[in-house]
Each structure stands twice: as C-alpha cells, then as structure tokens.
Structure 1
Amino acid sequence: MRRFRAVPAIAAASLVLTTLCAGTLPEGRAADVDAATAERLDGAITAAMKKAGIPGVGVGLWFEGGGSYERAFGTADTATGQAMKTGLHTRIGSVTKTFTITAVLQLVDQGRLRLDAPVLQYLRGPLAEQLKRVAGADAVTIRQLADMRSGLFNYTADTAWLAELQADPNRTYTPEQLLGVAFKHPMDFSAGAKWEYSNTNTVLLGVLVEQLSGRSLADYLRDHVLEPVGLADTALPKGAEIPSPYAHGYTTFSPGGASVDASSWNPSWAWAAGAMTSTLDDLHTWVPALTGGRTAGGGPLLKPGTQAERMRALPTGYPGVGYGLGIAEVNGWVGHNGELPGYETVAAELPQDHVVLVVIVNSDEDRDQDDGSLSTLIGRTVTEIATPDHVWSLPAEAQPDATPDATPSGG
C-alpha cells in the first residue's frame, strides 16, 4: 500500500517502452469476461502504460462464478525484448507484510503472543536493550506494530541510510542493522496516537517470529503459511535470488537518477516488510486465503476471532483508506500493495462481490504522475471499468508501502 516520501522526487529518466502490445493471454487459457469488457480493459491498460512509460504489466481479475481476465502486456526484459508473461516471478514489496503478520497472528493463536501486550515483554537480546532506550517504546504493543500505530521511527526514512542503500543496492542487511537505524531515532509520536506507515514495525515483528518459533522467518512462512495455502511459487529469499523465469524490474533509485535494471539487487533491506517473491497466480490464490483466513484444504489459517481482529480496519486519516493488522481497505478492496525498486504490486479482494485483483508492474518510475505509483495507476484503470463502484484509488500521499522509490522515502 503506501509510500511515504521524505523529500521531493528526483526527476525520472525516460524509459523506452520497447514492446507494448494489446496483451498476451496465459498459455492454454483465455479471458472469459465478455469480449467487449476484455477489449476495453486491453485498450485502457495499453494506453495507461504508454502514457506512463511502463515497460511491462501483468493483470489478473477473477470473478466468483462470473469469469476472469488474465493478461500480460509489454516487455519483461528491455535488453532482450522478452515479452511480459503472466507466469513470471516478481518481487512483491510490501505485500510481504500480509505474510509476516499472518505468522504473528498464528503465534497469537498458539498463545505465544498477546496482541495488546508490550513488545518488550517478548523481545530478547541486544535489540530489546536498544529499544528500551527509546523513550516511550515500553508502551508499544504487538497490535500497534501490526496496525501501524506504534510511533516507532521508520528506518527507510533515515536519509543517511537511504543514501547508503542507493550507493550500494547489492549490500546485505540484517534485521538487527535495520532496527538499529530505527532505534537511534526518537519515536514520531506516542504509541497508539495515530496511524503512520513504518517498515520498522514489520521487521520487528519478523524478529519476534524468529525468536518465539526458533526458526528463520523464511522457513516458518514456508511451513506454516505458504505450503498450507498452496503457494509453490512464493518465497522469502535469503539474498538477492529471484526464481526464473522472472520479470526484470526498472528503477531510477540509482546514483544520478538513471534508469537501471534492479532485478538482481538485494532486497534484504526490506526483509519481513517487503522482500518476498511471487507470481500472478500465487497471489490470486493468496488473496482469498488472506481475507478468509483459510488454507487450501479449507482448514483455518487463523482462528475466526483472530481473523476478525485482522480484518477490523481503522481509519488512517486518508479518505477511503483503512488499515487492519497488516492489511488495508481501499474503497471496499481489502489487501495490500507493494513497491520495491523496479517492482510494484497490488493484491486485493472486493469481498462483497468476491472479486480478486492482482496487478504486477516491472517499474517504479512513476514520473510524478497523479496516481503516485504505477500499480495504483493500473489498478485504477482496471477497476474503473470492471468495478466502477469500487475503484482502487490511493492518493499519492497515502499509498501504504514499504519502499524507497526513486527518492529517499519512508516506505
């Protein structure tokens, strides 16, 4: 969901759109929304891509009992001209938060955590000692970390750290290093006073999952979230790896603002808040599991009461945007968006109509366009046609996500 920018945007370098076509269908499949709607969607998406200079887009729209629309547009690799395809892997940015918070809520179900207990009741080791030195942090609860109301400083808003990342995007960061950056700053406000998006919250919760489960976050997610839901093409990488075949991602978050291929950059700086990889079809499977709290076999992913707590979206201060426990509500759509240098994603459901939307974009070069992000542009373009009463629309200043864009950003 949203990016919070700390400084004005650097002007994005021009990106040549090499292969913009009307859209390719997944192999062996066909769009089964009516032909007129599919044609309107094809035309609108293609026009939006051309106007914004987007290299490649994957879009999936699935209606329960009412058809689907699954298309790929443009180019996955501008160096080779490889076409975008719906089956390519991508980096999903802050959609990762939905997985990490699911793990946290499973620990709540197991009695290892209490949502309204202070995080310092559970945190151990040097990080606990560092956090104790942050005035007011003793009042921060697990719930406030999950619903972005902790007040803890967002490490991706630290300009010195951002300059370091921009200079060397292949560097490996540990969660301890990331939280160390955050804990050097005072809290932005008293715990629970308001809503403010912060990657620090989710990284800290990822550390708790590891400490309480005795396993790496990647392994815990694989065994307790990904496999039960049936997500064979989704993972939290240990380093910069992304499974093949994948879409190359293009960004201007580089020295001088030049457009570069960021697909091999190390996303460890985002870890539990934004480092996962997935595919269009896996995200299609994940969204109903996320919003319904069920596994692939129909069993509970979370207890019903815990799932209800997750889904209770509170106001954020931005019209039409609410936020629950690692999940957002945007004009009736429930899910999350994500951004990482080179990649943007939307994964959401319109629960009352049982419609799932997934958008994948292999660029974050928004060029100051009015929607604030390319994924929001495509999401709005699709929903204006498919679900005109519920348009995916986020103001540029209220797009919850966890990543620096082409500028120093708070995520």
Structure 2
Amino acid sequence: MTVVAAGLLAVPLGGGVGYAQPHLTAAVVAAPTPTPSGDFPVLDQEVARRLDAAVREVLRKTGVPGVVVGLSAPGKGEYTRAFGVADKATGAPMRTDFYSRIGSETKTFTVSALLQLAGQGKVGLDDPIGKYVDGVPNGDRVTLRQLAGMRSGLLSYTVTPAFYKALTEDPDRPFTPRELLDYAFKAPKPVIFEPGAEFNYSNTNLILLGLVVEQVSGQPLGDYFREHVLGPAGMDRTDFPSNADFPTPHAQGYTQQTASGKTEISTDWNPSWGWAAGAMISDLRDLRTWAKTVATGVFPSGERMITPEMQRQRLITPPTAIPGAGYGLGIFDVQGWIGHNGSLPGYQSLTMYLPEEQATLVVLLNTDIPYGPDQEEPSTVFGQAITEVVTPDHVYDLPPVTAKSPAPSTPAPSPAS
C-alpha cells in the first residue's frame, strides 16, 4: 500500500472525472506599489495568465471537476480564481466563496489547541498518552510530542479492513472517538514500530490528542476551537461540525472511496470518522488567515495564539522519507512552504505559508480521486504547478511513498489527510 507523505493516508482507488472549462469568479489584484521581496513575482496580468494556463492544464490532465485557488503576498498582489464545475450534473460553476471540507488540515487546529494548553503548563509535550487515555498500546511510553509529530508507532485506524468496511458500507453513520481507536488497537498489529523510532502518518495520533484537549480543557473539542482559536483568529466561516451538516454554498464532492469503487457523490457523508484528525469545514478567506496564523503562532490582531517557545518547538520539522519535506508538530515544511494538506472522500485542500515572502497559497478541490499511475493526490499536482510558476526555488512536491503500516486486505479509503 502507498500513501502520500504528510497527506492522504492511503492511496484511493483509481479513476477520473470529466474535464470542465474553467470558470473565473475573481480577478487578479496587483499591488500598486510592489515592494521588492526575494523572487516572488508581482501578481500582475502576465503572471495571472501563466497561472491560469498552469491550473487549466492540471484540470485537463487530472479530470478534477473544480478548483479554487488563492495566492497572495504583501506588496505583490493577489490571485483569486475559481475554475471548473461545482456540480457535474447541472454544470454549476465553482465559486471562490464556497465552504469546503478540509480533511487533515483539522490536525493543525488540534495540535494548536494542544500547544496552547502546553504553553499554559496544563500538559507537558513529553507526558505519556497513558496519563490521559487508558488502553493505548505503549501508552506509558508514547508521548504527546510523538503523537503530534507522527512518530508514535501506532497503527492508523484508517488503514484497517474493519474500518474500511464500516465506512464504505454506511458512510452516513456517526463514529465516536473511542470506536475509531478500537479499529487500531484491536488490529493484529496495533504497534508498527517503537515510539520515536520513525515517521509514519497516523490518524490515530490525532484522535488521541483530541481526547487530551477535551479532558484537560473540560470543553468539547468544537467549543474549544471556537473559543480559543477560531474566535480570536476572526475565522467565522470555519467550524468543527458535530454531524454531517454542511453550510451553503458548497460544491458537490466526488470520490471513488466506495464499496464498489465507482465514483459517487460524498457531499453529505458524515465526517465524524475523521473527528480531531479531519472533520473540519472552512473556506478560502478563512484559510488564508489560518495559513499565516498557524505558521507564525500569532493571531491577525497581533495577540499570540501560542507561546514563542511552543511555536519554536512546533516548527522543528525533522525529515520524512521525502527529500525536502519535514514534519513538525501537526505541520509540514515542504521546500520552505509551511502548512498542511487535507483530504477526505470528495474533497481536498492545501493551505501553506512561505515565511520569507509572507506569501499564502490555498487550494480547494471537489474530488479526492487520485491522478495517474503513481496515484498522486490532485492537490499536490495543483500545488506543484502553481509554485513552479511563482516560487521556482520552492516547489511544493509530495510524491507518493511506501507506508509503514501493513496493507489491509481490502484497499483502504483515502481519509483525512
């Protein structure tokens, strides 16, 4: 089985969808007085033309129905576009104001909550998880830091045949965090390596950290996010849903993570199976805010989201199996771009920040169907094409790599990434 590092946990089933002509819903806004800053180009009409061509080409070759792209940098302007269709049946266009399911970008919020509590002295990053949650394999040795950094050695519940069967047979059903953990802990090999020995992307880690945040804060996870993260950040179009509700407007989501392997609409599937690892909803505007907030640890108001020391520790990004890609505490660094990607059936996202240019890039798609013989995440293909145009010295590239977790007998879904 293969995975995409720092992203999707398991390769989705193959296939594609029809290509639609791009629909542009917003214009390029070039800064009137560009401030020299590295090699990042002014986002003028010529750069917009090159970006349009790059995005159109990715749409054509991947078969992605629709995509929203937001790119900006101080003094360089802004590029905000929507291409393609939101609904293949009606031909309704994608729009830049759509809400979207953001999958594993949820992890950046969960780990931010953990780091807030650690900065307040309410938890220690080197505390064993067994101090907070019972029944965890190696719970006396796996630390909160190892969970946040994907180095716990705990099997991801999303690669188990039992979970795959449960999800695909009834994608509308709700899951509890404890049910999710049971899929991993009751598997034949719940531990795949010793704590801290290696990097392996596991959703199990974030379910555990979500439980820690709830226990220590005394609040449901969604309430904690709204009070301590989303509210102070001014992100009123981002939420941690408690059910399958999906605010409008939004695009239809298309996936092949189904029992039959055929393409289905997953728009209203219950995201509870992703919980603290992948259930959140957001939009382009809020994710632009979040890109800088999570990368700097500072809210737009100037108030600190987490302490400088916690932020320093978060951004220590040891290497992974992919050259140029490191993973810290719930955040990646890929060729200088700091952030996270996200994927769950029907949707993918990418939110990144390039510190030296103070540039943000947000990409939102309405499919998770992989591209090509290497089963690439379509969000990666878009991210690479866009950064090749604007930051050729910092090209976002996450090729598929072999997973450490054992391959299930049935192909695993492509869960929260």
The CA distance in 2 between the partners of 1:2 and 1:398, in whole Å, is 13
Instruction: Judge conservation of contact 2:345–2:414 (CA < 8 Å) in 1.
Output: no
Shift, 1:406, TM fit: 8.0
1:41-70 deviation line (CA, Å, top 9, x unaligned): 111111110111110000011112111111
Instruction: Judge conservation of contact 1:96–1:275 (CA < 8 Å) in 2.
Output: yes
AA aligned to 1:58 is V
Aligned to 2:246: 242
Aligned to 1:20: 21
Which residue of 7, 11, 14 maps to 2:14?
Answer: 11
Which residue of 255, 258, 265 maps to 1:261?
Answer: 265
Instruction: Judge conservation of contact 1:137–1:187 (CA < 8 Å) in 2.
Output: no
TM-score (norm 1): 0.92
Shift, 1:278, TM fit: 0.3
* Residue 348 of structure 2 corresponds to residue 344 of structure 1: yes
What is the DSSP-based 3-state SS (H/G/I as helix, E as strand, rest coil) of the residue aligned with 1:390?
coil
Aligned to 2:275: 271
Aligned to 2:314: 310
Instruction: Judge conservation of contact 1:84–1:247 (CA < 8 Å) in 2.
Output: yes
Aligned to 2:67: 57
The CA distance in 2 between the partners of 1:24 and 1:369, in whole Å, is 30
What is the DSSP-based 3-state SS (H/G/I as helix, E as strand, rest coil) of the residue aligned with 2:110?
helix
1:116-162 deviation line (CA, Å, top 9, x unaligned): 11111233xxxx0x22xx2x331000100000001111100101211
Structure 1 residues 137, 334: CA separation in 2 closer, same or farther (over 3 Å shift)?
Answer: same
Aligned to 2:216: 212
Aligned to 1:156: 158
The CA distance in 2 between the partners of 1:371 and 1:394, in whole Å, is 12
1:347-398 deviation line (CA, Å, top 9, x unaligned): 0011112111111111111143547100000011101101111111001227
Structure 1 residues 184, 108: CA separation in 2 closer, same or farther (over 3 Å shift)?
Answer: same
* Structure 1 segments (4+ residues) deviating >4 Å: 404-407
Aligned to 1:287: 291
Q: 1:142-221 maps to which residues of 2 (within 5 A)?
A: 142-185=144-187, 186-221=190-225
The CA distance in 1 between the partners of 2:296 and 2:373, in whole Å, is 34
Instruction: Judge conservation of contact 1:365–1:406 (CA < 8 Å) in 2.
Output: no
Q: Which runs of 5+ in 2 are unaligned?
A: 1-5, 31-42
The CA distance in 2 between the partners of 1:76 and 1:175, in whole Å, is 31
Structure 1 residues 409, 244: CA separation in 2 closer, same or farther (over 3 Å shift)?
Answer: closer
* Residue 105 of structure 2 corresponds to residue 104 of structure 1: no
1:284-323 deviation line (CA, Å, top 9, x unaligned): 0011010111112101100100111111111113211101
What is the DSSP-based 3-state SS (H/G/I as helix, E as strand, rest coil) of the residue aligned with 1:257?
coil
The CA distance in 2 between the partners of 1:210 and 1:60, in whole Å, is 33
The CA distance in 1 between the partners of 2:372 and 2:12, in whole Å, is 7
Instruction: Judge conservation of contact 2:157–2:183 (CA < 8 Å) in 1.
Output: yes
Instruction: Judge conservation of contact 1:76–1:84 (CA < 8 Å) in 2.
Output: yes
Structure 1 residues 371, 251: CA separation in 2 closer, same or farther (over 3 Å shift)?
Answer: closer
Structure 1 residues 264, 406: CA separation in 2 closer, same or farther (over 3 Å shift)?
Answer: farther
What is the DSSP-based 3-state SS (H/G/I as helix, E as strand, rest coil) of the residue aligned with 2:245?
coil
Identity among equivalent pairs (%): 45
The CA distance in 2 between the partners of 1:52 and 1:299, in whole Å, is 41
* Residue 72 of structure 2 corresponds to residue 70 of structure 1: no
Shift, 1:164, TM fit: 1.7
Structure 1 residues 169, 30: CA separation in 2 closer, same or farther (over 3 Å shift)?
Answer: same
The CA distance in 2 between the partners of 1:311 and 1:291, in whole Å, is 8
Aligned to 1:80: 90
The CA distance in 2 between the partners of 1:183 and 1:257, in whole Å, is 27
User: After the TM superposition, which of the residue ranges 91-100 and 43-52 deviates more from structure 2?
Assistant: 43-52
The CA distance in 2 between the partners of 1:234 and 1:47, in whole Å, is 30
The CA distance in 2 between the partners of 1:399 and 1:233, in whole Å, is 34
The CA distance in 2 between the partners of 1:227 and 1:271, in whole Å, is 20
1:151-182 deviation line (CA, Å, top 9, x unaligned): 11110010121122111111100001001111
Aligned positions, number: 393
What is the DSSP-based 3-state SS (H/G/I as helix, E as strand, rest coil) of the residue aligned with 2:348?
strand
Instruction: Judge conservation of contact 1:2–1:399 (CA < 8 Å) in 2.
Output: no
Shift, 1:16, TM fit: 2.4
Instruction: Judge conservation of contact 1:56–1:361 (CA < 8 Å) in 2.
Output: yes
Structure 1 residues 45, 71: CA separation in 2 closer, same or farther (over 3 Å shift)?
Answer: same
Shift, 1:31, TM fit: 3.5
The structure with the greater share of residues assigned to helix is 1
Shift, 1:80, TM fit: 1.9
What is the DSSP-based 3-state SS (H/G/I as helix, E as strand, rest coil) of the residue aligned with 2:86?
strand
Q: Which runs of 5+ in 1 are unaligned?
A: none
Structure 1 residues 58, 38: CA separation in 2 closer, same or farther (over 3 Å shift)?
Answer: same
